[in-house]
Structure formats: structure tokens, C-alpha cells
Amino acid sequence: MSNDMSNINQNNFIEFLKFLERKHPQIRFSSDKLDALKRIDNQQISQYLSLVYEKFSLDGSSEERTFTALKSEEELRKNTEYITPDVIEEIPRIEPVVHVYNLERNYPESTPKVDIERVTPTYNVEQKPLEPAPRPSVEVERTPKPTSPSTTTPPPRTVSADNYVAPNHTTRNVFFIALLGVLAYVGYEFYEYQKLGTVYALSNELIIRDSSKKDGKFLGSADLFGKNMDKNNVEVPTTSELKLYSNDLQGGYYKVIVSDTPFFSFLFNNNEGYVYSKYFTTDKKKQDLYKAIFEPIKEDYYELKHLEFAYRTMIVNAIENTPSMKGLVLKESCDIQPVTAKKMPLRIGQEQNKDRTVFHALVQLSDGNYYSIIANGFYNVSQVNQIYLNGEPMTSPGKFVNKGKDFVWESCDKSMTARSNGQPFDTFTSEVATEEAPEETGL
């Protein structure tokens, strides 16, 4: 994806693969494979590493952090200058300076010597007892207590300009300052929230988990058109986009906010989830392109359920990169099956080899023609051929059944069937229905 951020790029990709080989004995890359991988771009590097992490059950984020830490330590060792014995010899020796002081003072010989230990101070003081100072006499005028308690109500206080005292606003000021602090914090968090991106679903039934591991707890699902069909053939709303917690990838996963109020979840740091980056994009225009191409079959949930992401991507790539197909979309569905149906023919024929390095898609587009599309393991299209039936362009609505080495095509009205004549599955020949001869009966 164009906006994905990762520590691994073209500059350190091969070195990172060799690091994985040394750390995990089950991972091996041939020299021919490494030479071929040197020519892929950063987007394909991200896709390839996602496949490696998934195949060998690795935590991609941890592997990349370990690799980056080792590289940083190696660079530190290279750039650090050490002090050698030769350098120590060149450091000048500093001799200490000692100052000697004569602590004996020279006194005249006539000065008498005094034995300090034998000198005892004497005091000629006559001690007398202290007489207390006379206490002054104080006369106190006592007021006699009233014979009965006074029940007189004090007069009401009259407020005037002379005796007015301003109220204490300390409590109100503290509350106002605290409110300003809260508003400032919320405003800053909203600013940070606005800088975060959004991821958009490119396929259907995409799982949202509570961690970036395969066994993470299921939290929900996302779909290209924001809706899906449950097992009871009831349409249920999902989501087609999710707000990010972080714009950075974490081991092939995006950390997203799973909430109907994403800002408050971001503010209180809760309701987080993880989605596999391979099936999402940060480019809204890319999702809009996928929606436009697959719009004609968005109500055919059985077809969408069985349409792998690989075939979706190669169909989009073929339409976008083939001038004669630019602007085309899929042909409408026919003979729609319930989502719980089993092994029914598909509107889009799908085939791949065992190593998932070659993919075939047979599809009818909005111009009425069928096309055979071939792509590699990165879904880059290598060949597009128009499909012919009995030497003429195939145009009738129909569905495909993968028979292993070939495809059988059946018209939607069940009036005709045809079989492909081997790869690249671009020529079909009609199959003639044979009626069974009636059994002979003896008279």
C-alpha cells in the first residue's frame, strides 16, 4: 500500500531475509529467489513479508524490532573510537605540585611560655538569691450579670459603601482554571486524533481481533460495502472503514479503534483492535475503485463470500492497466444463491497453482465480453485474453465450475454448457447433451 510505514525497505530487505534464515532454521531462501526479490518495490516487500509472517507464524513487529536493534548496535560499534595503549602514551603526564608550609611561628625569646592545660579561669562574683519583682495591682471593673437571659434579636445588618466586603472568589477561580485545563487537554488530544489516518476495507468478512496474533479474540468484521449476510440470510450492517490508533504498521497489522464514538475511545485509550494490513488500504480512492468495479454484484453474498482477495486485486489491476478495459466494471449477477449454499457455480472462475504463484480469473465485464486474466503471486497481471466460445466471443451470462485442469461454463438459463480447451482458459467448446437410449423390452 502506498501509505504503509515499515522499517524494512529496498535498502535492507535482503539483509533482513538473511537475518530470518539465521534466526529460524525452517526458513530458507535460495540464491535465485533472493536475486528475484531484489527487484521488487517497497509495496511488494510489505506484501511479501506479510505472507512470510503468516506462513511461518511469526510476529513481524518483534522480528523487525530485533533486526533494527541489532543493526543499531552494529553501527554503534563501527562509529565508536576506542582509546588504545598508543593513545595513552601520547597523553602528557601531569606532575603533582606540593606546597610546604612552616607551621611553627617565630616568637621573641622574651615571650613567656604558657602551659594551657594548667590555666584555670577564676571568677570573683558574689552570688545572691534573686528576689521576685513585685506584682502590679490591677483593678478590674466587673459588670453584674443580668438576672434573666436576653431574648432580644440583633438588628439586621445594613450594607453600605462603608462596610461592604467583596465576596471570596477563590473557589470559583480554581474551578475555572481546572475547566480551562481540561478543555486544553481535550483540544490537544483532538488535534492529535485529527492527525491519525483511516483504513478502508477492500474485501468482505475481514476479521477484527483484539491482538495482532492469529488466535486473537474476535471483535467484529469489516466489509467492502459495510454490510454482510448472516447464516440466516439476514442482512446485517458492519463497517467499511476504521479509525487508526497509530499510522504505523505493527508486524503486518493496523491498530484501529473499534467503536461508534472513536474520538472518546482514543481519548480514554480503550476499544482497540487489529486488522491485517493486506486487506485494507489508507487510500480512500483505492477503496472507491474497488467499490465501483464490484458494485454490480454487491447483493450476491454467495459470490462475494467465495471471491478471494487475490482475484479481486488482479481483476482491478487488469482493468486499471489495460487501456481497452479502462472504466469497465463487473457484469451483473444471475441465478443468485443463498449464502449458506454449498459448492455452487460462480460468476467468476478462479484457479491457482499449489505454490500460489500463478492465478487465473475468468470474468464477464460490463462490455458483455469474458476475459481470462493471469497474475503472479503479487497479483501483478501478466496476461489478459478475451474468451471465445466455438470461435465467437463469449457473451451469454453464465457461471463457471473449476474441474481441476479445465473449467466448465454453464449459461444462467441452463440451456448451454461448454468446456475450456486447456490453459490459458480463453477458448471454450460447447458440450452436446446426449440422451440415454430407451431400454429394449422383450415381447
Q: What is the pLDDT of residues 192-238, one digit of tens each?
A: 777 788 999 999 999 999 888 878 899 899 999 999 998 888 999 99
pLDDT at 358: 94
383 located within any domain: yes
- Lowest-pLDDT choice from 1-10, 365-374, 380-389, 431-440: 431-440
127 located within any domain: no
Say yes or no to pLDDT of 360 above 90.
Answer: yes
437 located within any domain: no
DSSP assignment of 345-406, as one string? -BSSEEEE-TTS-EEEEEEEBTTS-EEEEEEETT--EEEEEE-EETTEE--S-EEEEE-SSS
101 located within any domain: no
Same domain, 420 and 326: yes
Of 31, 51, 78, the last residue of a domain is 78
Highest mean pLDDT among 69-73, 185-189, 227-231, 359-363: 359-363
Q: Which DSSP symbol is given to 128?
A: -
Say yes or no to pLDDT of 270 above 50.
Answer: yes
Same domain, 270 and 292: no
Say yes or no to pLDDT of 350 above 60.
Answer: yes
Tell me the backbone φ, ψ of residue 66, rounded to 5 degrees.
-60, -45
- Cβ atoms 330, 364 nearer than 8 A: yes
- Lowest-pLDDT choice from 66-80, 227-241, 290-304, 328-342: 66-80
- Lowest-pLDDT choice from 202-211, 308-317, 329-338, 433-442: 433-442
Average confidence (pLDDT) over 288-306: 95
Average confidence (pLDDT) over 265-284: 86
Say yes or no to pLDDT of 137 above 80.
Answer: no
Position 118 confidence tier, pLDDT thresholds 50, 70, 90? very low
Closest CA to 382 of 401, 361, 353: 361
pLDDT at 435: 45
Query: Does 170 or 415 have the greater pLDDT score?
Result: 415
- Lowest-pLDDT choice from 158-167, 247-256, 340-349: 158-167
Laid out side by side, the sheet with 241-244 consists of: 218-222, 206-209, 272-276, 253-257, 241-244, 198-201, 280-281
What whole-number percentage of the chain has pLDDT above 70?
75
Q: Which residues contact 256 (CB under 8 A, 6 or more apart)?
A: 199, 208, 242, 243, 244, 245, 272, 273, 274, 275
Same domain, 275 and 310: no
Average confidence (pLDDT) over 117-133: 49
The sign of the dihedral angle between the CA atoms of 273, 277, 283, 284 is negative
Same domain, 232 and 260: yes
- Lowest-pLDDT choice from 46-55, 87-96, 205-214, 261-270: 87-96
Same domain, 310 and 206: no
Same domain, 382 and 302: yes
Say yes or no to pLDDT of 152 above 80.
Answer: no
C-alpha dist (Å) from residue 211 to 198, 254, 256, 264, 271: 18, 10, 11, 20, 12
Tell me the backbone φ, ψ of residue 263, rounded to 5 degrees.
-65, -45
* 354 burial level (CB within 10 Å; 0-12, 13-18, 19+): exposed
pLDDT at 155: 64
Grid cell locating 225: 460495502
Residue 213: which CATH number? Answer: 2.30.30.40
Same domain, 372 and 260: no
pLDDT at 290: 97
Average confidence (pLDDT) over 69-77: 78
Say yes or no to pLDDT of 106 above 90.
Answer: no
Of 78, 111, 131, the last residue of a domain is 78
Grid cell locating 45: 516487500
Query: Does 216 or 416 have the greater pLDDT score?
Result: 416
Same domain, 290 and 421: yes
Say yes or no to pLDDT of 40 above 80.
Answer: yes
Query: How does 322-332 read in b/e, with b if 16+ C-beta sit within 10 Å?
Result: eeebeebbbbe
Of 236, 266, 282, the last residue of a domain is 282
Number of domains in the chain: 3
* Average predicted confidence (pLDDT) for the chain: 80
Average confidence (pLDDT) over 169-183: 82
Domain boundaries, position 218: 195-282
**CA–CA dist 443, 440 (Å, integer):** 10
- Cβ atoms 337, 345 nearer than 8 A: no
**CA–CA dist 373, 382 (Å, integer):** 8
Grid cell locating 93: 603526564
pLDDT at 356: 92
Same domain, 294 and 348: yes
**CA–CA dist 173, 179 (Å, integer):** 10
Same domain, 304 and 401: yes
89 located within any domain: no
pLDDT at 207: 92
330 located within any domain: yes
Average confidence (pLDDT) over 177-197: 80
251 located within any domain: yes
Grid cell locating 113: 611560655
- Cβ atoms 12, 71 nearer than 8 A: yes
Q: What tens digit of pLDDT does each residue of 364-406 get?
A: 999 999 999 999 999 999 999 999 999 999 999 999 999 988 9
pLDDT at 141: 54
Query: Does 42 or 190 have the greater pLDDT score?
Result: 42
**Is the whole model's pTM more than 0.85, yes or no?**
no
pLDDT at 71: 83
110 located within any domain: no
pLDDT at 145: 58
Same domain, 354 and 411: yes
Closest CA to 40 of 68, 23, 17, 71: 17
Same domain, 217 and 324: no
